[in-house]
């Protein structure tokens, strides 16, 4: 039987952003319809953040066991059971899934429709047997793996992030196309679990990160046995002896690489197909739906958040967008998407991340009024105790000591970025970072050390020395 629904809000997409909007609005007693054609929890829970970090955690345990002799702890007979690793990954997903389930959201008062939703006019969505006319719509359909048009790839049994976590047998030789965050995280994890791994990158590996910091990660990953080919174009994919073979061209020469499995990790593509965006008068392009600073589309009744809105493709961005949209729809408050404040982390070992403006971005905006100060992990006592001294933090300081951004590579960099993200969002200046008290010994002390180095030249300043000398005369 056809249903005609008239909720206050209709959310299309039950990933991180869509679920946050639905739960928050429902908690205020707002009538919400949530439309999802796939799995509840979206890419992050089922194919992205959660399974990848679970796999990385297993790989870290194996690596720690191999490296334990440097601490005087000897582990003999190390064995990786990849089927059990698979079970661990899916047990983690299963443990989180009830929080994102249909049952939970229906319990919150949300009407959940498990069907594809599409606009049929600027104010109407059809999903399954329901016709939905809402006061406001929120599109949160996320993104999927982008598959490049490589000759022969369509005939190969390739993996993406949506299928790689289904493997129950460790690949003998995993070939990965793409050396961005996803490609390198999975490359290192599979290598630590015992696979041979080759990564092919058309440009620079970790090309969006600070080159000085990225080099520290790449050196470690290569040292662990991952082969990373940069400036290497994939010419075609062929059938190999035991699996796919990738033919690459680098420096004018061709090389054929045979593997047991092939993973494509060449970026993400926004999910804008079959939404009826033209019928709704919503502008979009290959990067996603076009939105203004308040995340509204060209149809003023419709918002777009997260990956589908273009820009940074992180789960925490979708959550941030969701909070902005809730404030706008429910409380009519002006909101602004400030992407300069968004933290980012790649969970390799060592981790690499940052927040705010990079050194290059800051110099393009403020020219010679930018100072960059650094502190190395090798000067941190906790890092020395844990033998994790590969790393550094960079603070990008603007006029009047204002923190413009920060970049970090090293052990637990993702946790240290939390401190830097808070400092940036609150307008903290370098003097305040230099003055905060950090427990000893912790890795976060590296931030304080970097901030203190901003004042390293103060003792050499003639006027400062004269003032100190003058004040000393008063006892």
With H, G, I as helix, E, B as strand and everything else as coil, classify residue 434: helix
The answer on whether 201 is annotated among ligand-binding residues is yes
- Which segments of 253-392 does DSSP mark as H helices, in order? 277-280, 315-331, 359-366, 381-385
The answer on whether 233 is annotated among ligand-binding residues is no
The answer on whether 182 is annotated among ligand-binding residues is yes
Rounded to an integer, what distance in angstroms lies between the CA atom of residue 453 and that of residue 461? 15
The answer on whether 183 is annotated among ligand-binding residues is yes
Q: Residue 112 forms beta bridges with which residues?
A: 34
The answer on whether 179 is annotated among ligand-binding residues is yes
106 φ, ψ (degrees, to nearest 5) = -65, -35
Contact 180, 206 (CB under 8 A): yes
* Local structure of residue 304 (DSSP, 8 states): E
The answer on whether 244 is annotated among ligand-binding residues is no
Rounded to an integer, what distance in angstroms lies between the CA atom of residue 302 and that of residue 255? 49
Quick one: tokens of 266?
């060449």
Find, among 99, 118, 116, the residue nearest to 107 by Cα. 99
Side-chain-side CA neighbours of residue 137 (13 Å): 29
The answer on whether 184 is annotated among ligand-binding residues is yes
In 10 A of CB 201, how many CB atoms? 25
Find, among 279, 275, 300, 17, the residue nearest to 288 by Cα. 275
Contact 73, 135 (CB under 8 A): no
What do you get for the CA distance between the two ends of the chain, in Å?
91
CA 419 vs CA 129, 344, 347, 412, 428: distances in Å: 48, 13, 17, 12, 11
Rounded to an integer, what distance in angstroms lies between the CA atom of residue 288 and that of residue 308? 5
Quick one: tokens of 439?
């427990």
Rounded to an integer, what distance in angstroms lies between the CA atom of residue 72 and that of residue 289? 55
Quick one: tokens of 106?
């229906």
Find, among 100, 97, 132, the residue nearest to 118 by Cα. 132
Contact 416, 446 (CB under 8 A): yes
The answer on whether 275 is annotated among ligand-binding residues is no
Q: Tokens 């709704």 appear where?
A: 280
The answer on whether 267 is annotated among ligand-binding residues is yes
DSSP string computed for 48-89: SHHHHHHHHHHHHHHHHHHHGGGGT----S----HHHHHHHH
The answer on whether 111 is annotated among ligand-binding residues is no
The answer on whether 142 is annotated among ligand-binding residues is yes
Task: Classify strands 136-139 and 9-12 as parallel, antiparallel or unpaired.
Answer: parallel
The answer on whether 330 is annotated among ligand-binding residues is no
With H, G, I as helix, E, B as strand and everything else as coil, classify residue 242: coil
- What residues are designated binding site? 53, 117, 141-143, 178-185, 201, 267, 307
- What residues are designated binding site for FAD? 53, 117, 141-143, 307
- What residues are designated binding site for NAD(+)? 178-185, 201, 267
């Amino acid at each position: 039987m056809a249903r005609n629904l008239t909720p206050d809000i209709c959310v299309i997409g039950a990933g991180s952003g869509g679920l946050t909007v639905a739960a928050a609005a429902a908690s205020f007693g707002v009538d919400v319809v949530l439309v999802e054609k796939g799995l509840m929890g979206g890419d992050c829970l089922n194919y992205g953040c959660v399974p990848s970090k679970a796999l990385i955690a297993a790989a870290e345990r194996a690596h720690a066991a191999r490296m334990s002799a440097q601490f005087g702890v000897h582990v003999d007979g190390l064995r990786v059971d990849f089927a059990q690793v698979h079970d661990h990954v899916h047990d983690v997903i299963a443990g989180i899934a009830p929080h994102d389930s249909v049952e939970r959201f229906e319990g919150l008062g949300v009407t959940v429709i498990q069907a594809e939703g599409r606009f049929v006019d600027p104010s109407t969505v059809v999903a399954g047997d329901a016709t939905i006319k809402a006061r406001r719509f929120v599109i949160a359909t996320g993104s999927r793996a982008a598959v490049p048009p490589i000759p022969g790839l369509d005939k190969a049994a390739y993996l993406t992030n949506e299928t790689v976590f289904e493997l129950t047998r460790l690949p003998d030789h995993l070939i990965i196309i793409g050396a961005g965050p996803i490609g390198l995280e999975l490359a290192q994890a599979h290598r630590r679990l015992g696979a041979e791994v080759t990564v092919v990158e058309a440009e620079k590996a970790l090309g969006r990160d600070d080159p000085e910091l990225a080099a520290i990660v790449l050196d470690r990953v290569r040292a662990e046995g991952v082969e990373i080919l940069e400036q290497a174009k994939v010419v075609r994919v062929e059938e190999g002896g035991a699996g796919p073979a990738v033919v690459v061209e680098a420096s004018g020469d061709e090389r054929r690489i045979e593997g047991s499995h092939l993973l494509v990790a060449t970026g993400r593509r926004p999910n804008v197909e079959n939404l009826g965006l033209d019928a709704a008068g919503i502008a979009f392009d290959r990067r996603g739906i076009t939105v203004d600073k308040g995340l509204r589309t060209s149809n003023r009744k419709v918002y777009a958040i997260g990956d589908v809105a273009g820009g940074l493709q992180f789960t925490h961005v979708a959550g941030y967008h969701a909070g902005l949209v809730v404030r706008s729809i429910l409380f009519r408050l002006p909101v602004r998407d400030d992407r300069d404040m968004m933290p980012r982390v790649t969970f390799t070992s060592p981790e690499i991340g940052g927040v705010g403006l990079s050194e290059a971005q800051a110099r393009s905006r403020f020219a010679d009024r930018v100072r960059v100060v650094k502190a190395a992990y090798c000067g941190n006592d906790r890092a020395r105790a844990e033998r994790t001294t590969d790393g550094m933090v960079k603070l990008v300081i603007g006029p009047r000591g204002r923190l413009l951004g920060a970049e970090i590579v090293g052990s637990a960099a993702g946790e240290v970025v939390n401190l830097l993200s808070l400092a940036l969002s609150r307008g903290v200046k370098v003097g305040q970072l230099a003055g905060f008290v950090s427990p000893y010994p912790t890795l976060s002390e590296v931030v304080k050390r970097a901030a203190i180095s901003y004042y390293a030249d103060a003792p050499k300043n003639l006027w400062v020395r004269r003032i100190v000398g003058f004040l000393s005369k008063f006892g």
